[in-house]
A and B are shown apart, each in its own frame.
Chain A
Amino acid sequence: MTTTEVDDRGGGGRTDQGGRPGQGSRTDRPSEAQDQATRRGSLFWVWHVLRQNPLTALGAAMVLGLVLAALLAPWLAPFPGDGGVDVHPKSQLLAPSLEHPFGTDELGRDLFSRVVYGARISLFTGSLVIGLALLIGIPLGAAAGYLGGFVDEVIMRFVDIVLSFPPLLLATALAAMLGSSLVNAMIAVAVAWWPWYARIMRGQAVALRERGYVEAARAGGVGTLRILTRHIIANSLPPLIVQASMDFGSVILTSASLSFLGLGAQPPQPEWGLLISTGRTFFLTNWWYVTFPGLAILVTAVAFNLVGDGLREYLDPRLRSV
């Protein structure tokens, strides 16, 4: 296909096609930039999605900020020791001020510092819980969907049983039984959450096991385990990732609820839910105690929900603004 570089305004006998803002003497070939763009990979599309969806970009920025805050806590917090065991009996329950932007608690600790340190706990909790839930749910779901039959029935009935309960109540009951600690609370929430991933994974496995490449692998004598990991699970990642990112916010909320009920983090950990629980005793007269930790939970959950939404729209082409 030969092309020549020609001024695009040429064209014998053609009435002017007007209406386009002055684009000078561009050539008729797709520009180098355009050609490169088609070759550009996911990074270009990520940037494009972010540009198109300001809300998603906002969420991404917020998540980034939270991660940074958690990582840089010792330098961000004006009173790093207050995240731990320092007490200042003379500064009890001070209202917010320049020195203590979030006020102080009943032991005189700077609440801003405690909230910043709490970010570490929350992010850690969320990651661990979801990781654990995926670790349990993916193998079970994959086995159920791929192997089918009796295994499928048993696993799915078990999933139904666990899902026949509102997740918060289930986690509460489990945490109550396991004993009150942050780790036990994480386990409890993970146990309440894995069935969702098992279901998604199973659905994917059922759909994918009929695919050509899976049959080819089976015919070629590839072992079941390898098929499961290499083909089925690897190709099921998008919906799982979407669900996981959308769940991050809910997981943080649930963990905070458990701590609020006294079943999760224990004093003196600056976990946000625990802070609210402690602050409840004083909140009518010291409004800042519950307000700021709660805002932190809210902001974190909003951030991850926005990102999760954006991911879902990105991976589901029907919902894009085309």
Chain B
Amino acid sequence: MWAYTLRRIALGIVVLLGLTLVTFLIARVVPSDPAARWMGPRATAEQIGAARVKLGLDKPLYVQYLRYMADMARGDLGTSIRTHQPVRKDLAAMLPATVELVVVGMVLAVLVGIPLGVLSAMFRDSPMDHLGRVVSVTSVSLPTFWLAMILQLVFFKSLGILPLADRVDSIIKLTYPLRPGTGFYLLDSLLQGNWPFFHSTLAHLMLPAVTLAAYPAGLVARMIRSSMLEVYQEDYIRLGRAFGFSESLITFRYALRNALAPALTVIALTFAYSLGSTFLVEAVFNWPGMGKYAADAVTTADYPAIMGVTIFIAALYVALNILVDIAQAVLDPRVQLS
């Protein structure tokens, strides 16, 4: 199994290298001048020229690329043109907000999606099944940014029970400040016993997380339903019934175990898809995460930041795929890791 894992990782690295090359070339195509942006709008031509040399932009393209790759091997992702900070530092600062959001969202999605799918399959073609299918189709068809705004309208404007945007209430941030910790506000405030902060964070997480969870929940429910229906046709399910095992045992132990494996791939893919939705969610809720960072990077043609974010997301995606393959092998002993 380790041989397989190493091979997958090697393959992933090859893909990532290709991606860096592609992104690097594309970033160079962007018409604006990075050096000018680095110096700001009031720079003189000389200053811009000097900046160009300093940033290594005068060298030929392939040299720039090789230098970049060498730096990356050392863990240096360059310096952001917009923030003048190392990209790595920027990412580390922005990451926890996004991770917290995505994790909470995905957990919600799985907690809702799996039972929905199982129940739909168990009571196939019943009114409940139809309702479940309508719900899951709808949630897969929702425009993320629209759902965000509707939730804001309902829960903020009409009901007034949840906040509009941001990660935590700004007043709470000042009056009950959080000491620096992991960057995961939920975790930190819990560990520090900072209850007002915790409550505020939780309240602010609700709408964005639900928005994020809608699509994956629907997808998971659909996948689990169709996976379960396929499994129900199998002979070993008939055998379970033939030997008088209870329906709930057959569904939740025999069938679900087999149904989860193929659904797992899709679940992981929706996790990756939700990285895209995160982008939109962060935009609407003004969430200070990677999505916002990426958006700013794109609009300011901040190519080191663009590269950094790109590589990071792609690496995450590739790692996720590898994890899924390994998990499948664990769940299904038939999988030959070849």
Contacts and interface: CB of A to CB of B under 8 A. Distances in A.
Per the CB under 8 Å rule, do A and B touch in the complex?
A: yes
Interface of A: 54-55, 157-158, 160-161, 164-169, 172-173, 176-177, 249, 253, 256-257, 260-261, 273, 276, 280, 283-284, 287, 290-291, 293-294, 297-298, 301-302, 305-306, 309, 318-319, 321
Nearest to A293: B146
Given A177-B29, A257-B280, A290-B149, A169 B275 contact: yes
B110 interface: no
Given A165-B317, A176-B299, 6 more contacts: A55-B134, A166-B275, A177-B30, A249-B141, A284-B157, A291-B153
A292 to B, nearest CB: 10
Interface of B: 14-16, 18-19, 22, 26, 29-30, 124-125, 130, 133-134, 137-138, 140-147, 149-150, 152-153, 157, 222, 226, 229-230, 233, 272-273, 275-277, 279-280, 283-284, 294, 298-299, 306, 310, 313-314, 317-318
A164 B141 contact: no
A220 B299 CA distance: 58
A302 B279 contact: no
Contacts of A319: 226, 229-230
A310 to B, nearest CB: 11
Given A166-B273, A284-B157, A319-B226, A172 B298 contact: yes
Chief secondary structure at chain B's binding surface:
helix
A276 B146 contact: yes
Contacts of A284: 152-153, 157
B124 A321 contact: yes
A280 B298 contact: no
Nearest to B133: A55
A283 B153 contact: yes
Contacts of A167: 273, 276
Given A169-B313, A177-B29, A257-B280, A157 B298 contact: no
B313 A256 contact: no
A158 B18 CA distance: 8
Contacts of B146: 276, 290, 293-294, 297-298
Contacts of A321: 124-125
A318 B230 contact: yes
Given A249-B141, A257-B144, A318-B233, A177 B26 contact: yes
A273 B284 CA distance: 14
B318 A157 contact: no
A276 to B, nearest CB: 6
